[in-house]
């Protein structure tokens, strides 16, 4: 198949590389010319505008957006839409708010797939977990691309109609916040408590057979190995927060109590007062582990 990819940052570059590695053709565009040059060197056809990308793709366009959520998605769609028809398919692989997705799917002349993407840049080798919403025929049509970008056929599934993919990813991120908070609190007690412990060794032994082993715990182990048991100069400041806020807002609307996820979100807000809490310093470092988000340092 031939796939157009718009947005070639940390995540879009991986989409391009994995789709090329699976033997498909890629036409790629980004506002950043250096990013376009880099994927051209890797084998993609470069486009110097969205119109140029559409010219390369011809009829039955398949286009994957991997730009930041919010205004960049609307700006991209505004330019794309005059070039789209009902037989075309657009995938939004970013962390868009599902309310925005419902509005966009309704307005888009093409079939619109919302694709929640989990795994982060650290999963370039393994592939991502993809949660897809939208028309079934469009999901089937894009299956070769999903197979390539995900860990394989088991790494993607259609969740339901438009919006459901981003809805499931929003809840996934709420769970991510709560898990980071739980590990952070446990390690904070171990760090502040009555024994002088090697936290890399604790994380390592927990990752070998313990009930609480997980990828996030492997990233805790990596963080202690690279920063030391006291996390060095990693600051008590956790950035991000939009996806957790949406999860809590939706829980309030649905009257479903989510005290753990709310508390984890509130801890992020609290971290902006910089009180030096160990749990938040670990959460700050873990966001680098999975998302390559910049580590805030003291």
Ligand X SMILES: NC(=O)C1=CN([C@@H]2O[C@H](COP(=O)(O)OP(=O)(O)OC[C@H]3O[C@@H](n4cnc5c(N)ncnc54)[C@H](O)[C@@H]3O)[C@@H](O)[C@H]2O)C=CC1
Is 169 an annotated catalytic residue? Answer: yes
Q: What is the side-by-side order of every strand in the sheet holding 111-118?
A: 45-46, 25-29, 2-6, 62-65, 89-92, 111-118, 129-133, 156-160
Q: Give the other-Cβ count within 10 Å of 99's Cβ.
A: 14
174 binds ligand X (CB under 6 A): no
240-243-247-252 Cα dihedral, nearest 10 degrees: 70
Using CA atoms, how far residue 93 sits from 19, 189, 194, 235, in Å, is 14, 38, 46, 30
Q: Which residues contact 15 (CB under 8 A, 6 or more apart)?
A: 5, 64, 66, 93, 149
69 among annotated binding-site residues: yes
Residue of 37, 197, 242, 276 interacting with ligand 5RP (CB under 6 A): 242
Q: Which of 149, 42, 33 is nearest to 91 (CA)?
A: 149
- Please give the structure tokens belonging to residue 42: 């890797």
Q: 173 is in the binding site of which of ligand X, ligand 5RP, none (Cβ under 5 to 8 A by kind)?
A: ligand 5RP
Q: 244 is in the binding site of which of ligand 5RP, ligand X, none (Cβ under 5 to 8 A by kind)?
A: ligand 5RP
Q: 161 is in the binding site of which of ligand 5RP, ligand X, none (Cβ under 5 to 8 A by kind)?
A: none
127 binds ligand X (CB under 6 A): no
Residue of 92, 176, 227, 267 interacting with ligand 5RP (CB under 6 A): 176
DSSP-derived 3-state class of residue 89: strand
Is 33 an annotated catalytic residue? Answer: no
Q: Which residues contact 195 (CB under 8 A, 6 or more apart)?
A: none
Considering 33, 125, 136, 169, which one is annotated as catalytic? 169
Residue of 28, 47, 76, 104 interacting with ligand X (CB under 6 A): 76
Residue of 19, 54, 66, 219 interacting with ligand X (CB under 6 A): 66
Q: Which stretch binds ligand X (CB under 6 A): 60-68, 144-152, 179-187, 194-202?
A: 60-68
Site string for ligand X, 20-39 (x = CB under 6 A): ----------xxx--x----
Which C-beta is closer to ligand 5RP: that of 274 or that of 294? 294
Distance between CA 129 and CA 147 in Å, rounded? 10
72 binds ligand X (CB under 6 A): yes
65: enclosing H helix or E strand: strand 62-65
Q: 35 is in the binding site of which of ligand X, ligand 5RP, none (Cβ under 5 to 8 A by kind)?
A: ligand X
Strand blocks (E) in 134-219: 156-160
Q: 241 is in the binding site of which of ligand 5RP, ligand X, none (Cβ under 5 to 8 A by kind)?
A: ligand 5RP
Using CA atoms, how far residue 105 sits from 95, 143, 250, in Å, is 15, 19, 20
Distance between CA 168 and CA 163 in Å, rounded? 9
Q: Which residues carry a binding-site annotation?
A: 7-12, 67-69, 95, 118-120, 172-173, 177, 268
Kindly list the residues in this chain that would bind ligand X in the complex (CB under 6 A). Answer: 6-12, 30-32, 35, 66-69, 72, 75-76, 94-95, 117, 120-121, 290-291
The binding site for ligand 5RP (CB under 6 A) comprises 95, 118, 120, 173, 176, 240-244, 287, 290-291
Residue list, annotated binding site for NAD(+): 7-12, 67-69, 95
Active site residues: 169, 176
């Amino acid at each position: 198949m031939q796939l157009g990819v718009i947005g070639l940052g940390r995540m879009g570059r991986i989409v391009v590389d994995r789709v090329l590695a699976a033997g498909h053709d890629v036409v790629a565009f980004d506002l950043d010319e250096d990013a376009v040059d880099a994927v051209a060197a890797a084998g993609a056809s470069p486009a110097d505008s969205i119109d140029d990308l559409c010219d390369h793709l011809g009829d039955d366009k398949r286009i994957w957006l991997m730009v930041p959520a919010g205004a960049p998605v609307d700006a991209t769609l505004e330019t794309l839409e005059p070039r789209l028809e009902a037989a075309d398919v657009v995938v939004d692989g970013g962390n868009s708010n599902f309310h925005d997705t419902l509005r966009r799917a309704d307005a888009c002349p093409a079939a619109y797939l919302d694709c929640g993407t989990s795994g982060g840049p650290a999963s370039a080798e393994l592939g991502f977990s993809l949660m897809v919403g939208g028309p079934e025929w469009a999901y089937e049509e894009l299956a070769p691309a999903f197979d390539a970008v995900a860990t394989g056929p088991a790494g993607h599934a259609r969740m339901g109609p438009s919006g459901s993919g981003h809805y499931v990813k929003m809840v996934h991120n709420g769970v991510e916040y709560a898990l980071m908070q739980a590990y952070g609190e446990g390690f904070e007690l171990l760090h502040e408590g009555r024994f002088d412990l090697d936290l890399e060794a604790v994380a390592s032994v927990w990752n070998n057979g313990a009930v609480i082993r997980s990828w996030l715990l492997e990233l805790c182990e990596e963080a202690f190995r690279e920063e030391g048991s006291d996390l060095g100069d990693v600051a008590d400041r956790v950035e991000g927060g939009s996806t957790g806020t949406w999860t809590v807002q939706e829980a309030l609307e649905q009257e479903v109590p989510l005290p753990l996820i709310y508390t984890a979100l509130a801890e992020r807000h609290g971290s902006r007062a910089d009180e030096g809490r160990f749990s938040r310093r670990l959460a700050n470092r873990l966001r680098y582990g999975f998302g390559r988000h910049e580590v805030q340092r003291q």
